[in-house]
Amino acid sequence: MSVDTPPQIERDKRGRPLPPPGVAPTSLKLALVVPVFAVLMLGVVIVSNVVTSDTPPAKSVVPIADSSAGLTVSSINPFAPFVAAGEPVDDILNSVVIPDGSTQIRQIHTGGQVTSFDVAFLYSTTSSQGSLYSFFHSQMAARGWKIFSTGAPTGGKGIEILAQKAGTDGWYWEEGVIIHPTTFNAQNEQITTYTIRLYQASSNA
Distance of CA 170 to the CA centre of its chain: 37
Q: Which residue has the higher pLDDT, 17 or 89?
A: 89
pLDDT given at position 62: 27
Does residue 2 lie within any of the structural domains?
no
Angstrom distance (rounded) from CA 78 to CA 104: 9
Residue 143 domain-assigned (yes or no): yes
Kindly state the average pLDDT of the residues 161-180. Answer: 96
More confident residue, 44 or 201: 201
pTM: 0.66
> Which residue segment(s) compose the domain that 159 sits in?
80-203
> Does residue 115 form part of some domain?
yes
CATH number assigned to the domain comprising residue 121: 3.30.530
CA torsion through residues 136, 128, 130, 174, sign: positive
65-116 per-position pLDDT tens digit: 555 468 999 999 999 999 999 999 999 999 999 999 999 999 998 876 667 8
Residue 118 has pLDDT above 60, yes or no: yes
Number of domains in the chain: 1
With a CB cutoff of 8 Å and minimum separation 6, the contacts of 105 are 121, 122, 123, 124, 193
* Angstrom distance (rounded) from CA 137 to CA 129: 12
Pairing mode of beta strands 146-151, 159-166 = antiparallel
